[in-house]
Chains A and B, each alone.
Chain A
Amino acid sequence: MKKRFFSASLLGVMLLSGTAFAGPKMTFGPNDEGALQLDYKGQLQMTVRDSGSGENNDDTTMNFNFRRNRLALMGKYGDMMSLYVQTEYTEDPNVTTLGISSTDQGSEFQLLDAVMRFKFDNAFRVNVGKFKYNLSRENLEACEMPLTLDRSLFIRTAYTSTRDTGVAVWGNLFNDLFQYRLDAMEGRKAVSGETAPASNFRYSARAHVTLLDPENDYGYKGTYLGQKKVATIGAAYQFEPEVAYGDTVARTDKKDYSAWTVDGFVEYPLEGVGTFTASAAYEDVDLDDAYQGGNPDSGAIGLNGQKNGWYVKGGYLLPHLPLQFFGRYEKWRFASLNGIYDQKIDWYGAGANYYLRGQNLKLTMEVSRTNFDQEGTVNGNRSEDFTSVVTQLQLIF
């Protein structure tokens, strides 16, 4: 009985570290070593943007859509092995980071995560499968627990989304004061020489120093809702050789990929005053100036191509009301974006989270402004300033 209670408690802790403790769960095995939990995670958004529609695309765009619509299966067997599988269904995500799509983007059902986790020791753990790669803290923060409406819109890197496929080794040292992460992942998908100059793995190294209450999980959170006192500084570097052609037509001018970032996070609750949260990061994505090539690979330019920038965000959670105000400012510079070289974007937004049942049931509203340094339409790609208002209801069940 004692053993079962212990196992159940451990499962609870493990699963809680991955997501909210929400959906149905079952145990199995002779001693209930095995456990499974199924969660639904939904973020329904209503977006009102002051442009993107009408004959001149200057009219207001209104949209209902699921930002995230997921089923997550979490499991473990014993103390050492666990599993995390998550699916996602997207349907016509026509309202994009920088504009409104001219046609429906279609629906997609995908296996977003599928990771086998092995914990040999707190200082030596291995993840295998498809999961978040180890570069920016922002990307490693749980999708359902950002401080602001969502994570930075510009933090993703080239040729991957938020996840990649491969192997990661990580662990906590010095009484959880220090965490290291190393991974070797797919990076750019293996394609023939007609498309990419080589097929190499992408290698990452990340470390952080965390003070006060430790951040010792694989994933971070954008806010701990005052349940922890956290101060963490991290840095990471990523590299993939010969990832793209600078001239895709002539198949010449091979370019390497590298990226680095530094980030910091502080959350500190003050009794009777509230919880203060602050976070900032700088990230540089370098594709060896592929954008200057004769016919650069499309993945080397654009939103996720060569760029550098930073964000800073802050939040304040009231002491006796589950209401959290937040703001975020981002400044990014893109080598080539929408046909414009050296484009700069200033993004700033502010809003509030109202936690009806913690992160499991949360109402968020955010007003944001996206400003382009060089406005215009080049080759049909529009770069015009716009304002968005997004209201989101999040349910984790």
Chain B
Amino acid sequence: MFDVPLNRLVPEYIKRFEPYIPSKPDPELMKMYKVGHLWRLNNNENPLGPPERSAKIIEQFPPIKTSIYPSGDSYYLRVKLAEKFGIDPDQIIFGNGANEAIAFVIKAFCQEGDNIVTADKTFAVYEWVAEFSGFEARLVPLKDFGFDAEGMLSRIDERTKILFVCNPNNPTGTYWDEPKLRRFLDTVAGRQIVVVDEAYCEFVEAPDYPDGMRLLKEYPNLVTFRTFSKMYGLAGLRIGYLAGSRDVVDVIRRTCVVYSVNTVAQDAALAAIGDDEHVSRTRSHVRAEKDYLLRELGGLGLETQAGEGCYVMIRLPFSDTLAYRQLMSKGVMVRTMTGFRFPNWIRVSIGVHEAMEAFVGGLTGIVRQREMAG
């Protein structure tokens, strides 16, 4: 047996990184926290699961198909989506989840010295991918929990390549309506790439919410992100996509990884497209459970922030990371908001009613206990 000379082999900049440790699988967490059941309310997953047709595809997937490589560029999916949105299939690129699409875009347009502009309190991956790739992420504070268009525009300089807007925003649920998004795009006037992340668009019921796909025709610098992980309940299969003008997408395609979307994911996503009944069932579930949750939280006197999307933010009078541990010990998993720069806030995803009751019960117990302890 010999010692590996890590001191010599590992580059200095890698020594400085802490490894990212994703959360353990549920059975391990349940053992660790000594609970018999775990309600997962941390990842904004669809509690109703995938659409029925997709579920059937997954259930009946022939094992022999796993020995054959998938379509390298998700061909049939692109064709079907293009038909749905009235665009060309070559305007779409699929990735192993929308996170991969974020990396494709940044890699395609940024080089040393460039920067991206986004909000300080939004989905972290835009900032992470930029920073890890050595590009500056210019962060603009939210205004009334929403993206600040003027603030973002004021941070643009000649090295700004991409503007990321999360619409609706994760975690605050705020959104830009169509006039606001148009004004922003008109002001940018094609000088930078504007990415509008619409991961939660299918949950939005507000009539003035803009459809990024429709705007592609008018704004060739617009790139939209969508995913099958949220509304379509395929998070475990990792499948998302981006769409933009042909010229822009042609550039992005040069950086993207082919064959990164597996066959089951492609087939299940294909079956999900156009299932409006699933969307409407999910929306009405989210609406009802969100109402229930906000009512209960109001009773506890806690500040909340809820907009569009399948999640609600709650401000606690104590540390969110402590709340996470306490709720885990009651079998409920939520998302702490420190990492989103909202210290002492948690975000709870809308789950099945039993899960929402477990969360409300658990949180009530914790809050009351703290009140009693003074």
Partners in one complex: no
